[in-house]
Structure 1
Amino acid sequence: MGTLTNISAGRLSAQIDATGAQLMSLKLGEGEYLWQGDERFWPRRAPVLFPIVGCLRNDFATSSQGEVHLKRHGVARLYDHAVVEQAPSSVTYELVSSDETRAAYPFDFKLNMSYSVDGERLTQTFSVTNTGEVDLPFTLGGHPAFNVPVPGEEGASFSDYALVFPERWTASVPTIDERGLHDFSTMHELFRDSDRLRLSHELIDRLLTVVFVDVPGRGVRLEGPSGHGVELSFDGFDYLGVWTASSEAPFVAIEPWVGCATAYDESDVFEEKRGTIVLAPGETCERSFSMRPF
């Protein structure tokens, strides 16, 4: 754990760790909504995923600049990020490429992670700048995990919760193997013409991670039986991962992603991965999603 920074506005407060620029707490009043980490299940809370989401096949890819050797979810979560801006309700971190990052991912970049609260919601913003002289390929994503039950729902069980979407739709998700690779040729229909999915440890255990594609309205609510939960809005993120660590783990991660893990029908060329963003030298790309506890 690195240096912790607290931000707040109104009844909403958050805490962020400089190590990984990771969100560590999200409170409404005294109620803690963010999973607080537990080695028995999963020690992290909300890691930043960059420059990949999920895994590469055998943790390896080729690229225009040589070999890429990245473990699951990339390098941003592994390093200390410098605070470059701070105010009572916001903070911005910065991570720049180094010899160590280039050994795994042979590109130059600047990643700024910003967190801001407005009294009602927390917004997490990724800003990626190509600081090199060649095109920069990457994907990115968030990985916030939430306590189940959330405050105000004490005594509720995992299966009492539902994911509620902005409109009715039909959701089919890819098969995922034990290596984390995705098979989009074998899809599982989770529901048809509905706006909700009941949480189920059995479902997540069976699918390993539930990966939604093109969620309508780019929004979802985690909602308990008494009406408390967390709402996520993620315009600009085409994938949404839902995961928990085991059938006993009292949390669920709801993860907006720009891209996803390597799929069976993809090559091992980094630039050809689904959802890859490519920035020309000097260009910057931003993506934001928000979390509203209620």
Structure 2
Amino acid sequence: MSELTRISRGDITATIDSMGAQLMSLTCAGGEYLWQGDPSFWPRRAPVLFPIVGCLKNDEAMSAQGPVHLKRHGIARTREHSIVERSEPSVTFQLDSDEATRELYPFDFRLNMTYSTDGTSLAQRFAVTNTGDVDLPFTLGGHPAFNVPMPGAAGEAFDDYALVFAKAWSPSVPVIDEKGIHDFDRMTQLMKDSRELALSHELIDRHATLVFHDVPQSRVALVGKRSNHGVELEFPDFDYLGVWTASTEAPFVAVEPWHGCASAYDESGRFEDKRSTITLAPGERAELAFTVTPF
């Protein structure tokens, strides 16, 4: 049975579900910043993406250890994670490979998810250990979705929000087909020499998901232009950023740090050849983290 764990320090309180090790609530000074999973739009809130981000072509790939059969975003979000360490401002979950996971993803692993707060930000840390005797390939990411409007921003509309980057740049995003496969040979420039990208349902719907690569300083803020309330994400360990919402009426925006992305048409189809794949030798461990700061 899943268990909810609450951590808190200063103005920040977070609640995490052991089912999927999913963040369920993020409040600052009592205001709820995290999307609360209204099933009429999208029932999840902030799933953990492992050992893939997005989807594989036809939900399958071949690997050095045999076939991989994974649905969108992998297996971590649908499994019960055990709690291995807990304190007032921090909790660590653990998911180990087993017979059921090996049928879908023929590798042995340990995934630890740690959530902690210093009183102003929430840190989400991934730690992956290769517990097997062959190389372990994977990609991973976060998927936190945020309420729009933000707390303290009554009266703001979706179109009042923007992504604000650390410096001016000219990003292009790949075309994504109806199956979620990326085409990096067909790119669309979203803005030129600017720090700010105005959001709209129409913009995100037209692209399915906005997939940014090499975001300047690995930092972005989702900000209400009238209220100046929002969240800032810092993700130095992640090379992609996804921005998504569920429909043209959904009152949330997901801002997603990824190490890797969905399968693409220019890839071989071999699991190990996916973009930004991390490969760990037996016994090796990798740690990646991002922070969310509400304001």
Gaps of 5+ in 1: none
* DSSP 3-state at the match of 1:192: coil
- Is 1:214 the counterpart of 2:214? The answer is yes
Cα RMSD for the two superposed structures: 0.6
Name 2:73's counterpart in structure 1. 73
Distance in 1, matches of 2:162 and 2:199, equals 5
CA distance in 2, matches of 1:50, 1:166: 28
Query: With structure 1 as the length reference, what TM-score do the two structures score?
Result: 0.99
Question: Partner amino acid for 1:242?
Answer: V
Are 2:91 and 1:88 aligned? no
Q: C-alpha offsets along residues 39-75 of structure 1, whole Å, 9 cap, x if unaligned?
A: 1000000000000000000000000000000000000
- Cα distance in 2 for residues equivalent to 1:163 and 1:88: 32
Match in the other structure for 2:122: 122
2:242 corresponds to: 241
User: Matches of 2:123 and 2:30 in 1, distance apart?
Assistant: 20
Equivalences for residues 41-80 of structure 1 within 5 A = 41-80=41-80
**Cα distance in 1 between the residues matched to 2:29 and 2:55:** 37
Name the CA distance, whole Å, in 2 between partners of 1:139 and 1:154: 38
Instruction: Spell out structure 1 runs of 4+ moving beyond 4 A.
Output: none
Q: CA deviation at 1:2?
A: 1.7
1:280 aligns with 2:281: yes
SS class of match (2:155): coil
In the other structure, the counterpart of 2:272 is 271
For residues 84 and 178 of structure 1, the distance between their equivalents in structure 2, rounded to whole angstroms, comes to: 40
- TM-score, normalised to structure 2's length? 0.99
Task: For residue 77 of structure 1, give the secondary structure of its aligned residue in structure 2.
Answer: helix
Structure 2 counterpart of 1:92, one-letter code: T
Asked whether 1:34 is paired with 2:29, we answer: no
Aligned positions of 1:157-176 closer than 5 A: 157-176=157-176
- 1:183-232: per-residue Cα shift (whole Å, max 9, x none)? 00000000000001001111111100000011010000000021100000
> In the alignment, does 2:158 pair up with 1:150?
no
How far did residue 236 of structure 1 move? 1.3
SS in 2 for 1:286: strand
User: In 1, Cα distance between the equivalents of 2:76 and 2:269?
Assistant: 21
Runs of 5+ consecutive residues of structure 2 not aligned to the other structure: none
| Deviation of the 1:30 alpha carbon | 1.2
Question: Counterpart amino acid of 2:117?
Answer: V
- Work out the CA distance in 2 between the residues paired with 1:187 and 1:122: 33
Partners in 1 of 2:230 and 2:55 — Cα distance? Answer: 30
Letter in 2 for 1:198: A
Residues 145-196 of structure 1 deviation map (CA, whole Å, 9 limit, x = unaligned) = 0000000111100000000000000110000001000000000000000001
2:194 partner SS: strand
Matched with 2:203 is: 203
